[in-house]
Chains A and B, each alone.
Chain A
Amino acid sequence: MNKKTKIAVFSVIGLLVVVGIMALLYNVFSKKQENPGASKTITVTVTHKDGTVKDFTIPTDADYLRGALEQVEGLIAGSESEYGLFVTEVDGEIADYNTDGSFWGFYLGEAFCEYGVDTMPINDQDHFYITYTVY
């Protein structure tokens, strides 16, 4: 094997090692379902543009946030994207980023949700906050 081939082979191996390490990190640190498919109850607090606050207690078997939120009629609506549902309307109020920079911010406790509603896992007694936010 000449020097050039060796460099190419080792660089590919190095890349695969880093991919493996990242897959491992994801496996260890990503938020997971504690009991997939089990019954759970979550609380959702919606804060509207005018500051009014509304609480929803949702008993559900859904594993992801979207499934639970869609159990309450009219709670969320939006447009489908490659990342899942992009929520633009919550409890009848629309946030239009293109008009005034407003959007619905999703929080689990105090932490901003880093997943979309389709992939945000939920566990029993989770408390989500959905807040009208202007960028």
Chain B
Amino acid sequence: MKLKTFEIVLLGMLGAIAYAGQVALSFIPNIEVVSILFLVYTKVFGKKALFPIYVFVLLEGIYWGFGSWWIMYLYVWAVLFIITMLLRRNNSIIVWAVVNAGFGLVFGALCSITQAAMYGIGSGFAYFISGIPFDIIHCAGNFATALALYKPLTLLLSKVNKELVK
């Protein structure tokens, strides 16, 4: 994957936008726009979306500190990327809202893998169970953000991709 200078700047900025969105909404537990942004980035830019995703991961580590949670970030967003790549040809806003919501729902389960690896399976399971109410909030929030943002973001970024990148 060879990127042009303009693409590197654009994709870096998209990572920074995701980071700004995360920080701006960090005061509300588990309501976020990062998932829908990465979903749309992946749908529009394909494998190039890995660039803004990992720019975001790096910025998160720099801002919040490279704690054990950061290890989770190395793979959880990749899961969303892979699912989106597999369903990329789908254009149903409801299906994408379900994908985004489903990702929010299993976010805690994905994170508990690291917890289990570091502190034991019992700890990982307890982490997963205690986080379920937040996962359900995450699910509902992601469903709503996808319904609200999927279409305008896809139109906007598709235009950018068509007119400025390709």
A interface residues, Cβ below 8 angstroms from B:
4, 7-8, 11-12, 14-15, 18-19, 22-23, 25-26, 29-31, 82-83, 97, 111-112, 114-115, 135
- The secondary structure that dominates the B interface is helix
Cα distance A18–B107 when bound, in Å? 13
Is B61's beta carbon under 8 Å from chain A?
no
In the complex, residue of chain B having the shortest beta-carbon distance to the beta carbon of A97: B65
User: Could you jot down 13 A-B contacts, CB within 8 Å?
Assistant: A15-B98, A15-B139, A19-B105, A19-B136, A22-B105, A25-B132, A26-B132, A82-B27, A97-B65, A111-B126, A112-B123, A114-B126, A135-B67
A26 and B98 form a contact (CB under 8 A): no
- Report the number of A-B residue pairs with Cβ-Cβ less than 8 Å: 59
A29 and B129 form a contact (CB under 8 A): yes
Given contacts A18-B102, A22-B105, contact A111 B132 (CB under 8 A): no
A15 and B101 form a contact (CB under 8 A): yes
CB distance from A121 to the nearest CB of B (A): 11
Across the A-B interface, the 8 shortest Cβ-Cβ residue pairs: A8-B94, A26-B132, A114-B130, A11-B98, A114-B126, A29-B129, A15-B98, A82-B29
A114 and B123 form a contact (CB under 8 A): yes
Cα distance A44–B93 when bound, in Å? 52
B132 and A114 form a contact (CB under 8 A): no
Cα distance A23–B94 when bound, in Å? 23
